[in-house]
């Protein structure tokens, strides 16, 4: 996947736990865990909106495009 989720880094900077963020954003801990571990296939705008609002950040702080290893070669 070219798009990487850096939720863990943003959460660390804000000092917020996964459980607390899940409660505030209104999504399940399991789904937030899927997003944090880069297993998610897609993210809804509403989820991204809620995350940015709670973490006081932009979508670009959470999502980053990384060149795949095979493309870099």
Partner 1 sequence: MNLIGPKSIASKLHLAVKVLFWLAVPGVLLMAIVPILPPSWHHNVSFVVQSGPLECSFDMFRATEARWWIWAMELVSRTCHAVVLYLLMRILEPVGAGEPFDLKTPSRLRMMGCAVVIGSLLRTVFCAELLSMGTVAESGAHFSWAIDFDAIFMGILLVVLAEVFHRGYALKTESELTV
Which residues lie closer than 8 Å to 43 by C-beta, 6 or more apart?
35, 63
42 binds partner 1 per the rule CB under 8 A? yes
Which residues lie closer than 8 Å to 28 by C-beta, 6 or more apart?
22
Nearest C-alpha neighbor of 44 from the set 25, 29, 57: 25
57 binds partner 1 per the rule CB under 8 A? no
The stretch near partner 1 (CB under 8 A) out of 13-21, 29-37, 52-60, 62-70 is: 29-37
How many residues at the interface with partner 1, by CB under 8 A?
12
Among 16, 24, 31, 52, binds partner 1 (CB under 8 A): 31
């Amino acid at each position: 996947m070219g798009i990487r989720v850096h939720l863990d880094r943003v959460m660390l900077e804000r000092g917020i736990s996964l459980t607390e963020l899940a409660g505030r954003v209104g999504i399940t801990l399991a789904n937030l865990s899927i997003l944090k571990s880069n297993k998610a296939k897609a993210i809804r705008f509403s989820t991204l909106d809620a995350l940015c609002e709670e973490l006081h950040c932009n979508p670009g702080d959470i999502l980053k495009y990384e060149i795949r290893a095979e493309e870099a070669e």
